[in-house]
Structure 1
Amino acid sequence: MSRVAALFVLFVCAMLSLASPLQGNVTATELDKRVTHVGRGTWYYPSGSEGNCGYWDSNSEPVVAIGIARYDANNGANCNQWIEITNTANGKTAYGKTRDSCESCDTSSLDMSPALFEEISTLATGEITISWHFMAAGWSP
């Protein structure tokens, strides 16, 4: 009977080790890229000023400003991370690079350069509903 008990204990230990997560240190930034957000999409002129990430970008580049609360919560860790953005009204999708923070945006809203906004809507529209998520670190279109 003790041989059966030993095999049972060995089996239970093997099953528990397989059920354990492989990665214990998942950062907020890594979790955030798995979440799809729905919010307000607007546009702004990044030219002429340095973004919060420390870069000077032009209006023709596909750049994004994320809400200041999200930027501050991650200590700017999302700088240079690409975001997939979809206009929920027409289904058009574009990619923008995080380069700034937006004072008037909540955590689910984005401010986009004119070039990026025009990939999914017209500037005359001004404000749209978007769904978006961060792409994996290091990814680029």
Structure 2
Amino acid sequence: MQLNTIKPAAGAKHAKRRVGRGIGSGLGKTAGRGHKGQKSRAGGYHKVGFEGGQMPLQRRLPKRGFKSQLLKFNAEIRLSDLERLDAAEVDLIALKQAGLVPELAKNVKVIAAGQLTKKVALKGIGATAGAKAAIEAAGGSLAE
């Protein structure tokens, strides 16, 4: 093998398409752009979603729904999670360290799901009416 005989693999290179170079090329006259219209002209194109002046789909459909950005700061915890947690006093920091609520959480509420038999004191954590009754029945307390 010599340097002057090295060639790329067969089919690796192909000639650039030269449009508008006569009938014989197969891409003469209209140069593959068809006849008339916006797409045939130089610089003539439109943005994504444009429908030629017809009311675009995203404007024909109704606006719907809303998702509050504050939801990511709220979290909830079950009574059964409190049961498994080995702590007499439970606050937001303890729940984050145990991995029961996300780090972003600012407001936590206990919901009445599962059973609670241990005495647990909650600090700075809310509770539903059913959860509050279950906590107090087990001898626990809530301090806001």
TM-score (normalizing by structure 2): 0.29
Q: Which has the higher contact order (CA 8 A, sep 6+)?
A: 1
Give the TM-score of the pair, scaled to structure 1. 0.29
Larger radius of gyration: 2
Structure with more strand by fraction? 1
